[in-house]
Structure formats: structure tokens, C-alpha cells
Amino acid sequence: MAKVVMDRELKEGRLLTRENRFVAKVELEGEEVIAYVPNPGRMEELMIPGTKVFVAHYPKANRKTEYSLLLVDYNDNLISIDSHLTNRLVENALLEGDLVQFRGYEEIKPEYTYGNSRLDFYLRGKGKKCLIEVKSATLVEEGVAKFPDAPTKRGRRHLDELIKAHQEGYRVAVIFIIQRADAYKFTPHQRIDLKFAEKLKEAAENGVEIYAYNCNISTTEVSINQTVEVDV
């Protein structure tokens, strides 16, 4: 299945604190460094001081921090927390034909503006236009992946746009990429965002296809593993 290869060798460290949504302090080789956290989610069960983490070093990058925190070791399971990686992973899977539901399209275009939103993919072919939105999930409880882990008005807006697009003749879908291997099922996280859960159910009842995949994670690559059951 499709994969994304890490562009740097990852270094093992220990999480000290998460300063804010996008910044963490990490102990690396006996020193304290500041690392970018490429995920705005709460990730409260993952971002615990003392947790083993893996960071990439970008010493010459034009950015505020030289490091990015990309993986967390949670109960001996590696979890990718890079929410930007999922779009690259899905794009590779679409191009390689790994997602059987979306094979045969002649055009694959990322970052497509529809209505008031920028959706992740536009596909054209087979006499049909298709819009896909991709979401990254990192929270798993007893084998069940849940999204979101913080309220998301943006997520509900995307679902509204997909419902509208389906009414206008588009094929529409949401793909949840679970960036860990230990999930066998996906469901919306009602306790955290009941409105999103209700909107996802509404979307499913109005033509929006919903898929979820778990992933194999290593310090060198992230790859799609297999589809998991979706329960909305």
C-alpha cells in the first residue's frame, strides 16, 4: 500500500512539556530543544511529559524551530501525529491505485476550492466528478478510533460543502486516516463534539461516502495498512 517516507532520520527524545498547540519542549541527547508540533489536536493521552517521542531536525529551514515532533511512542505503539502527512499519503494512494474505491479517475487535483471551503482532492473521470476530504485521527480507545479530539467547526463546514456538492451531482467522500496500527473500527467522537458526530451521520444519509484506514508506522515511513469498519 501507499506510503510516505520520512525525509530525515528521526532522533529519539523525551517530551518535557507541550507549550501550546504547535510547540513542545523535548529532551534530546541531554539537551532541551523546542519542537514544532504539526497537529492542532489536543492529543491529551499522547502528549504526556516523559513520553518517548521522535523528532526530525531541519537545521537550515526558514522556520521558528529546528525540530519537528513527528512520532509518539504510546504503550509501545508508534503513532504519527503529523496531520499534514495524511494528504500526501492519500495522494500517493490515489496515484498508485491503492484505494480501490477511487480507481480509474483521469485527473487527480489536490487543494480544490468548492463553495466556501478548500477541499483536499478533486477527481475527474468515468463521466463523474468527485470531491474528497481527508481527516487525520490519532485517538484510539480500546481499538476504536475517534475523531475529533477537539471541537471542529471547520470539519462540520466541510461536511456541509460535501452534502451540497452531492446534491449538485458530484460523488463525495470523507477519508479518515488513523495514524496508528491498533484500530479496527472508526466512529465520530460524540463526547468531544456531538455536533460533528450528528453532521457526519447526516452526511452519510445524504450521499457522502465515509472510509477509514489504519496505518503501519515506523521511524522511516508511514504506510496505509487496511480499511477498518466505520460506525456513524
CATH number, position 160: 3.40.1350.60
Q: Do both 60 and 89 map to the same domain?
A: no
- CATH of residue 29's domain is 2.40.50.580
Q: Do both 146 and 37 map to the same domain?
A: no
Q: How crowded is residue 221: how many other Cβ atoms within 10 Å of its Cβ? A: 13
* Chosen domain end from 62, 80, 98: 80
Cis peptide before 148 (omega within 30 of 0): yes
pLDDT of 116 > 90? The answer is no
Q: What is the pLDDT of residue 60?
A: 77
Q: Do both 33 and 116 map to the same domain?
A: no
- What's the chain's average pLDDT? 95
pLDDT of 1 > 90? The answer is no
Q: What is the pLDDT of residue 117?
A: 85
Q: What is the pLDDT of residue 201?
A: 98
pLDDT tens digit string along 191-231? 999 999 999 999 999 999 999 999 999 999 999 999 999 99
Are 125 and 84 in contact, with CB atoms under 8 Å apart? no
DSSP 73: E
Q: Do both 45 and 153 map to the same domain?
A: no
Cell triple for residue 21? 498547540
pLDDT of 147 > 90? The answer is yes
Cell triple for residue 124? 475527474
Q: What is the pLDDT of residue 163?
A: 97
Buried b vs exposed e over 58-95: b needs ≥16 C-beta within 10 Å? eeeeeeebbbbbbbbbbeeebbbbbbebbbbbbbbbbe
Are 140 and 182 in contact, with CB atoms under 8 Å apart? yes
pLDDT tens digit string along 8-63? 999 999 999 999 989 999 999 999 999 999 999 999 999 999 999 999 999 876 78
Q: Do both 97 and 75 map to the same domain?
A: no
Phi, psi angles (nearest 5°) of residue 34: -100, 130
Q: What is the pLDDT of residue 64?
A: 83
Q: Do both 169 and 194 map to the same domain?
A: yes
Q: Do both 126 and 195 map to the same domain?
A: yes
- Number of structural domains, the chain? 2
Q: Do both 172 and 141 map to the same domain?
A: yes
Q: What is the pLDDT of residue 62?
A: 78
- Residue keyed to cell 480499511: 227
Q: How crowded is residue 24: how many other Cβ atoms within 10 Å of its Cβ? A: 25
Q: Do both 125 and 165 map to the same domain?
A: yes
Closest CA to 210 of 199, 220, 222: 199
Range of the domain at 55: 3-80
Confidence of residue 132 (pLDDT cuts 50, 70, 90): very high
Cell triple for residue 199? 453532521
